[in-house]
Structures are given as structure tokens and as C-alpha cells.
């Protein structure tokens, strides 16, 4: 897998640490769920139908306006390590990686747009950008959706909207997810309060790797749960103008409060993280993410100089198990990974 070897070395677009509110908003993602009219949902599709769908969708993507240059990968022909790299880069879901039968993915070189074929729905399109860039993401994904509809007819019901495998996606088929870095709210024990408010607004809160995963490195994905009865624009405006600014405000207030009232405790977290990362000889991926999170907070609160955000963002990805093994060029046991991970981090954060 030549392209993947190359891909592994760079940070994804969504991890570039740029864009509006990027001190707190890591990335903005919009995903659309689509199914091809005239085909059964995947839960009822046999192997031949899956294959037919995969080929039909891949061909349609290839000839769609602005989608000509995508990287196309056949998940059945990738080994588990390569599929795990794609999951760690958020180009495919864990479910897509671990599934069976014909399934593919296509994405552009910057990894902004990705199209999963035969995941839960026939097609899932996502656009993911750094910082709070929901309008730009929406514009781009709409354009992709329009281009695809020039070559494909999607299952659509005049009353219910887009039909999807899971009823929670019926309607617009849209899911908006914003990944937030909330280390100060964690330190001040205010996360629960924020999450409670989010739940009341019928938002879902997930960890770094999406559904059912832990909040590694103080990273949280906030996403809508309701797709029916609201327009895409309403959902996006709600995120852009109300939900995200409010949580960002909470996190900012927590950071200000730490700087003003608990500076030693804040510095202690930041510098212990640096000291540990610069010295550990064995480190797990979740521990590394936690300490990288504290360094990121250190950079954004102005307490930590001489550390590039770019370095931290790259390490966030490269210390993940599959990335680490790709970088090392061999399969590693858990203990070997801990050792290689610690060495990589020390080299990147060395004092010179």
C-alpha cells in the first residue's frame, strides 16, 4: 500500500490546528447518509448485490464533477493494519473497517472529503475540516451530493426525505459532529454540567474515535441525534451559532479561571506532561494522548513556549497503534508499541 505509507507520515487536514476557534474546536465534520434507489438496504443485501453496489458507486464517484482525483481503496484488499490506519485518520469508521463483504472508500489527498461505500448505508459522504468550519463543510458536501446525484438516483421519500438503513438517519441523513478539546473543563470538574446541557439539547457526546469510545486526550465529539423534521441549514446554524460557541465559552472561562486562580495547578499539569513525555520509556496510546492534551492546553494558554502545535497534532495521530506500526514498518506487540511510541515522542519533543 504505497499511498498509505505516505499518508501515515502527515497530519490530516482536520488535525492541522487552524481555522476559527481552533484553540478549542479541533474539527468540524458533516456526514450524509445515502442509499441507491432500487437496491435493498445492506442488512438484506447478498454478496453479489454488495459487489454490484460497490462497483456502481465507485464508477459513479469516478465520473462525478470534482471527484475525479480521489484515492480509491478496496477495504477487502487492505490488511487489518491499513484499515486501522484509515480508522485512526477518521477516513472510515471502525464498523466499516471491521465489516465484511465488498466495501470501499474514496478520499481526496488532503483527506477533507471521504466517501465510504457499503458501510451501514450504501454511501456515506463526509467532509471534515479543521476548526469551526461548518459552513464551508456544508457547501462542499452539498456540492459533492449534487455532483453525485447527476450520476446516481438516491432513495428518497417525498414525505420522509432520504431513506437510510437506521431510522435515526432518515430525513436529511445529515450528521454534524464537532470535535472539541476541553482540558480545562475536565480539570475544573465542570464537564458533567456541560454534558448534561448537551443531552438536554438532544446532542450526542462521544470520544475521540466516535461511538462507544472513551474521551481520550480530553477530546469530545458533539453531534446531532435528530435528522428528521429539521433542515440541514437549521441543524448547522444551531451548531454554529448556539451550541459550539456556548461550549467554547465554557472552556474559555475555565481556562481563564485556571490562569487566574489555579496557575500552579495548571502549570503542574502542563509541565508534568512535558516531563513525562520527554522521559518515559514505555507509554500507552491513551496516556500519551492525555499528556499531549495537556501540552496543547499549555500552548493555547500561553504557558508553554517552544512547542509547535503542528508537532502535537502529528503526535496525536502517529502515536495511535496502527500509525505507529506503519511508521515503524513492522507489526509490533503491545509492549513493543509502548517502547517505540515513547521513543518517537522523546525524539519529537527533545529539548534541543
Hey, what long-range contacts does 183-188 have (CB within 8 A, 24 or more apart)? Answer: 183/218, 183/293, 183/294, 183/296, 183/297, 184/251, 184/254, 184/255, 184/257, 184/258, 184/297, 185/250, 185/251, 185/254, 186/218, 187/254, 187/258, 187/265, 187/266, 187/269, 188/254, 188/257, 188/258
Cα gap 41→46, rounded to integer Å: 10
Q: Out of 279, 286, 308, 310, which residue is the one contacting a copy of itself (CB under 8 A)?
A: 279
Quick one: 187 or 219, whose CB is closer to a copy of itself? 187
Cβ(89)–Cβ(54) under 8 Å? no
- CB 193, min distance to a copy of itself, A: 25
**Rg of the chain in Å (alpha carbons):** 21
Interface with a copy of itself includes 149 (CB under 8 A)?
no
Q: Considering only residues 313 through 342, tell me which ones interact with a copy of itself, judged by CB under 8 A.
A: 335, 338-339, 342
- CB 187, min distance to a copy of itself, A: 13
Interface with a copy of itself includes 282 (CB under 8 A)?
yes
Read off the C-alpha cell for 146.
Answer: 449534487
Q: Considering only residues 19 through 48, tell me which ones interact with a copy of itself, judged by CB under 8 A.
A: none
Q: What are phi and psi of 305, to 5 degrees?
A: -105, 175
Region of residue 52 (phi > 0: left; psi between -120 and 50: alpha; otherwise: beta): alpha
Q: Out of 265, 308, 310, 330, which residue is the one contacting a copy of itself (CB under 8 A)?
A: 265
Cβ(94)–Cβ(107) under 8 Å? no
Quick one: 246 or 272, whose CB is closer to a copy of itself? 272
- CB 351, min distance to a copy of itself, A: 8
Cα gap 205→215, rounded to integer Å: 9
Task: Give, in order, the Cα–Cα distances in Å from 7 to each of 13, 64, 89, 97, 289.
Answer: 11, 24, 9, 17, 20
> How many chain residues interact with a copy of itself (CB under 8 A)?
20
Cβ(97)–Cβ(75) under 8 Å? yes
Quick one: 245 or 321, whose CB is closer to a copy of itself? 321
Interface with a copy of itself includes 275 (CB under 8 A)?
yes
Task: Choose the stretch contacting a copy of itself; rule: CB under 8 A; options: 74-82, 106-114, 224-232, 272-280.
Answer: 272-280
Interface with a copy of itself includes 81 (CB under 8 A)?
no
- CB 258, min distance to a copy of itself, A: 12
Cα gap 162→100, rounded to integer Å: 25
Quick one: 199 or 272, whose CB is closer to a copy of itself? 272
- CB 339, min distance to a copy of itself, A: 5
Q: Out of 244, 274, 289, 315, which residue is the one contacting a copy of itself (CB under 8 A)?
A: 274
Quick one: 193 or 272, whose CB is closer to a copy of itself? 272
Task: Choose the stretch contacting a copy of itself; rule: CB under 8 A; options: 71-79, 144-152, 265-273, 317-325.
Answer: 265-273
Rounded to a whole number, what is the largest CA-CA distance in the chain?
64
Q: Out of 2, 77, 159, 264, which residue is the one contacting a copy of itself (CB under 8 A)?
A: 264
Interface with a copy of itself includes 278 (CB under 8 A)?
yes
Other C-beta atoms within 10 Å of 65: how many?
12
Q: What is the DSSP letter of 50?
A: H
- CB 290, min distance to a copy of itself, A: 14
Cβ(244)–Cβ(25) under 8 Å? yes
Task: Give the binding site for a copy of itself (CB under 8 A).
Answer: 264-265, 267-268, 271-272, 274-283, 335, 338-339, 342
Amino acid at each position: 500500500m504505497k499511498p498509505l505509507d505516505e499518508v501515515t507520515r502527515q497530519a490530516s487536514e482536520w488535525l492541522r490546528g487552524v481555522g476559527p476557534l481552533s484553540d478549542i474546536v479541533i474539527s468540524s465534520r458533516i456526514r450524509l447518509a445515502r442509499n441507491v434507489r432500487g437496491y435493498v438496504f445492506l442488512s438484506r443485501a447478498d454478496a453479489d448485490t454488495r459487489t454490484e453496489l460497490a462497483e456502481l458507486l465507485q464508477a459513479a464517484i469516478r465520473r462525478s464533477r470534482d471527484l475525479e482525483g480521489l484515492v480509491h481503496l478496496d477495504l477487502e484488499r487492505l490488511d487489518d493494519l491499513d484499515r486501522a490506519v484509515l480508522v485512526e485518520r477518521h477516513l472510515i469508521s471502525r464498523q466499516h473497517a471491521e465489516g465484511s463483504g465488498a466495501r470501499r472508500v474514496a478520499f481526496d489527498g488532503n483527506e477533507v472529503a471521504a466517501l465510504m461505500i457499503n458501510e451501514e448505508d450504501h454511501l456515506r459522504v463526509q467532509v471534515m475540516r479543521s476548526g469551526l468550519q461548518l459552513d464551508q463543510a456544508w457547501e462542499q458536501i452539498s456540492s459533492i451530493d449534487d455532483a453525485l446525484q447527476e450520476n446516481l438516483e438516491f432513495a428518497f421519500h417525498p414525505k420522509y426525505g432520504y431513506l437510510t438503513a437506521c431510522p435515526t438517519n432518515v430525513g436529511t441523513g445529515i450528521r454534524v459532529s464537532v470535535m472539541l478539546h476541553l482540558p480545562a473543563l475536565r480539570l475544573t470538574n465542570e464537564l458533567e454540567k456541560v454534558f448534561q446541557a448537551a443531552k438536554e439539547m438532544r446532542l450526542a457526546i462521544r470520544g475521540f474515535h466516535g461511538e462507544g469510545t472513551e474521551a481520550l486526550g480530553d477530546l469530545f465529539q458533539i453531534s446531532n441525534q435528530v435528522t428528521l423534521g429539521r433542515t440541514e441549514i437549521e441543524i448547522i446554524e444551531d451548531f454554529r451559532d448556539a451550541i459550539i460557541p456556548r461550549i467554547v465559552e465554557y472552556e474559555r472561562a475555565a481556562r481563564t479561571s485556571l490562569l487566574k486562580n489555579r496557575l500552579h495547578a495548571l502549570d503542574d499539569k502542563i509541565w508534568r506532561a512535558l516531563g513525562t513525555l520527554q522521559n518515559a520509556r514505555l507509554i500507552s496510546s491513551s496516556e500519551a494522548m492525555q499528556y499531549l492534551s495537556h501540552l496543547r492546553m499549555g500552548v493555547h494558554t500561553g504557558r508553554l513556549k517552544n512547542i509547535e502545535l503542528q508537532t502535537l497534532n502529528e503526535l496525536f495521530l502517529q502515536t495511535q497503534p496502527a500509525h505507529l506500526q506503519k511508521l515503524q514498518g513492522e507489526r509490533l506487540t503491545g509492549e513493543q508499541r509502548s517502547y517505540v511510541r515513547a521513543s518517537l515522542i522523546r525524539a519529537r519533543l527533545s529539548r534541543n
